[in-house]
Structure 1
Amino acid sequence: MKRMGYILCLFFLNSVSVFSQQVEEPIKIEGEAQGTTYHITYFDPQNRDFQPEIVQILKDFDLSVSTYIPNSIISRINSNEKNVVVDKYFKACFKKAKEVWKNTDGAFDPTIYPLSNAYGFGPSKKQKLDKFKIDSILQFVGFQLIELKGNTIVKKDSRVALDFNAFAQGYSVDVVSAFLTSKKITSYIVEIGGEVYAKGRKPNGSNWTVGVEKPIDNKESENPLKAIAKLENKAIATSGNYRRFIVEDGVKYVHHIDPKTGYPTKNNLLSASLFAKDCISSDAYATGVLVLGLEKAKVFLQQHPELQAYLIYSDDQGKYQVYETPDIKAILTEVEQ
């Protein structure tokens, strides 16, 4: 899962912050999971505490798709253990990854894991990389090299390894949200590691709100807000290169790797906030859009009106500019500077 380098404070992570206004008596749950924090607020006439069940759900989820747990399903597949049977969480992640990989023309690719690891953005120590090393790793990067057949994974190259961290946190938001919905909870907000889904409205009729940060390089604390969005039966995830990066020999390496070149992305798109009906889509497409870069992202978003986006980029003078999809104004309001 995404690690502690993203943790800023209670409700800030990866550009997204969560605000809950006190109305009636909301039930609030918070804790740590997936190397980050979670915050859940819901209204329940029966005043039930779902934290024990949610803690177990998140543990089971990690045992499926966390590359930081050696005996998780994904880790066992990556180490080529035989006869690994995948579960419902792994299947859902694999199928969504395949969809997003196809729709983004390969910009989003979970087989980037060996490169992410080599750059120091995974469980392993950073390697010294040069063009020869990167090109050698690229030989076994490509989602076409791995298939899901029934309940098992088949690789065309044993060196292929998967990493769902770019969107698994978003999917965990959906899993917890589905649990709350199954308990007849109709008003809630779930935030895990900054990825958010909000159901319904608060009992007083007001919307759940989240904030989108300015994309300022900052690993430790919150940034000023750039905009505030209202959510109702909608998810938001933001992907940016200003929270998770390393600097080596004066060079900044961001954690979004272009699967086609093997190098960290270099474009003027600073952050991508994606709104969708579920958080797995918001999270995965936010990553894909950031790798695509601004111009390709515009074309992609025009082809996918089911997604709404708020993109912050830098112009030739280094000033912030914004690209918005047509219906974003109904959701999002910029903060006065």
Structure 2
Amino acid sequence: MFSVNKSIILSISLLISFFFRKDDQRQFTIQGYAQGTDYTIKYFARDSVVTKGAVDSILAVIDSSMSLYKPYSLICQFNASKQGLKLDAHFKAVMERSFEINKATSGKFDVTVAPLVQAWGFGAKPIQAFPDSSVVRDLLKSTGMKHLRLSGNYLAKNSQTVQVDLNGIAQGYSVDIVADHLLKKGIKAFVVEIGGELRMKGPKPDGSALRIGIEGPAPVAGAEPVVRHVVSINNGAITTSGNYRKFLQKGSKKVTHLIDPKTGYPLNNDMISVTVYAKDAITADGYDNALMAMNVKEALAFVGRKKDMEVYIIYHRKDGSVADTLSKGFRKLITD
């Protein structure tokens, strides 16, 4: 269950209308529950070549590998181990990308935040109180991907206290695996959505692009979120990270689920949410949290240096008002 810790703050609404075509292609919809969230798959085909059973089976295998909410999962076995263990293909693939993104973001993306995530109340177990500074300092001793080493399919750690949490990237990976399954079945137009993380391929049979609504916080505090923009995409993925939905409050103290691996404390900056477009969902999902840890200028500059990546940012101005900005490439995607 990845979405419990990885909140899809800037939820994305599917604004897709599918119709019967002259070539007999029609829409098929699969809906279900996996990884602690709902999923929806829409695709065009002449027959129902992809079944709910097949999708559920794929997601169950990934859950058995990387879910912190399954005591028998491989990730739970790794976290309980003293020195590490051999990984399956799913876990290995996600760790390889995690090391890449950790290096590219100078440590802003870090999968060893599991103990800190738990301490701040966003883990599998409930907490009675937020940690004090001494607890945070102690947990930081085991935080940092320098404590991990991937050699072949063996993931080693230098201390039993080092634990990993893949909630910031594994759901995007899951979207890609399901999308790859559809592609192998010969499906040429689809949307795969798990917990708000999407990957799509088009155009629709009538030649039009897929349209996705991007939601953001309402102008008035406490009101329901609103659709801020609609984008048209024929190929790629969109994922979101943010802090206006997923938070905890004890007394007067309010904290968000995004933990800074450098300080050990929840992020506290001007960023509200970050929506990333990339060629695949694991890339978008892996980078959206790291961009949340940057300031607006830094995030835009970072994405500007990346090939095939665009970003849409909602943030607080200094006076507390809400504003948004976006990369040039993302602007081209917007149709409304």
Q: TM-score, normalization: structure 1?
A: 0.92
Pairwise CA distance, 1:190: 0.2
Deviations 1:68-109 (A, max 9, x none): 111111110001177742111101110111111111111110
The SS at the match of 1:264 is: coil
Q: Work out the CA distance in 2 between the residues paired with 1:29 and 1:133.
A: 45
**Residue number in structure 2 paired with 1:135:** 137
Q: How does 1:87-166 map to 2 (within 5 A)?
A: 87-126=88-127, 127-166=129-168
Assess if the C-alpha contact under 8 Å between 1:15 and 1:215 holds in 2.
no
Change (3 A) 1:255 1:307: same
Corresponding residue SS for 1:327: helix
Give the structure 2 partner of residue 204 of structure 1: 206
For the pair 1:224 / 2:220, whether they are aligned, the reply is: no
Partner of 1:329: 331
Change (3 A) 1:262 1:5: closer
Q: 1:208 to 1:221 in 2, by over 3 A?
A: farther
SS of the residue corresponding to residue 328 of structure 2 reads coil
Please give the alpha-carbon distance, in whole angstroms, between the structure 1 residues aligned to 2:9 and 2:254.
20
Q: Per the alignment, do residues 54 and 217 of structure 1 end up closer, same or farther by CA in structure 2, a change over 3 Å counting? A: farther
Amino acid at match of 2:89: K
The count of residues paired between Structure 1 and Structure 2 equals 329
Contact 2:9 2:242 in 1 (8 A): no
Cα 1:37–1:149 change in 2 (3 A) is same
* Partner Cα separation in structure 1 for residue 169 and residue 223 of structure 2: 23
What aligned pairs does 1:1-337 form with structure 2 within 5 A after superposition? 1-3=1-3, 14-24=10-20, 25-80=26-81, 84-126=85-127, 127-216=129-218, 223-334=225-336
The answer to whether the 8 Å contact 2:6/2:167 transfers is no
Q: Partners in 2 of 1:214 and 1:123 — Cα distance? A: 27
Deviation larger for 69-78 or 320-329:
320-329
Partner SS for 1:26: strand
Give the CA deviation at 1:31: 0.3
User: Aligned AA for 1:109?
Assistant: D
For the residues of structure 2 that align with 1:299 and 1:157, how far apart are their CA atoms? Answer: 36
Q: Taking structure 1 as reference, are residues 145 and 81 closer, same or farther at Cα in structure 2, changes over 3 Å only?
A: closer
1:20 deviates by 2.1
8 Å Cα contact 2:11-2:214 kept in structure 1: yes
* Residues 13, 106 of structure 1: alpha-carbon distance in 2 compared, 3 angstrom cutoff: closer
Give the aligned residue type for 2:37: T
> Following TM superposition, by how much is the alpha carbon of 1:251 offset from its aligned partner in structure 2, in angstroms?
1.4
How big is the shift at 1:19? 2.1
How far apart are residue 281 of structure 1 and its match? 0.6
What CA distance in whole angstroms lies between the structure 2 residues aligned with 1:261 and 1:83?
Answer: 25
The runs of 5 or more residues in structure 2 that have no matched partner are: 21-25
How far apart are the structure 2 equivalents of 1:316 and 1:154?
Answer: 44
**CA distance change for structure 1 residues 145 and 313 in 2, over 3 Å: closer, same or farther?**
same
* Paired amino acid for 2:211: T
After superposition, the Cα gap between the structure-2 partners of 1:191 and 1:245, relative to the gap in structure 1 and judged at 3 Å, is same
Instruction: Tell me if the contact between 1:141 and 1:160 (Cα under 8 Å) persists in the aligned partners.
Output: yes
108-117 or 297-306, larger mean C-alpha shift:
297-306
User: Displacement, 1:317?
Assistant: 2.3
In the superposition, the TM-score normalised over structure 2's length comes to: 0.92
Q: Please give the alpha-carbon distance, in whole angstroms, between the structure 1 residues aligned to 2:62 and 2:48.
A: 26
Cα distance in structure 2, aligned partners of 1:115 and 1:215: 27
Q: CA deviation at 1:207?
A: 1.5
Q: 1:200 Cα shift?
A: 1.7
Overall identity of the aligned pairs, in %? 34
Deviation at 1:302, TM superposition (A): 2.3
**What per-residue deviation string (whole Å, max 9, x for no partner) do you get for residues 98-130 of structure 1?**
111111111110101100011110102225411
State the superposition RMSD in angstroms. 2.1
Deviates more, 1:123-132 or 1:137-146: 123-132
In structure 2, how many angstroms separate the alpha carbons of the residues matched to 1:61 and 1:217? 38
Q: Structure 1: how far apart are the matches of 2:125 and 2:301?
A: 36
Aligned partner of residue 289 in structure 1, secondary structure: helix
1:184 to partner: Cα distance: 0.6
Unaligned stretches of 5+ residues in structure 1: none
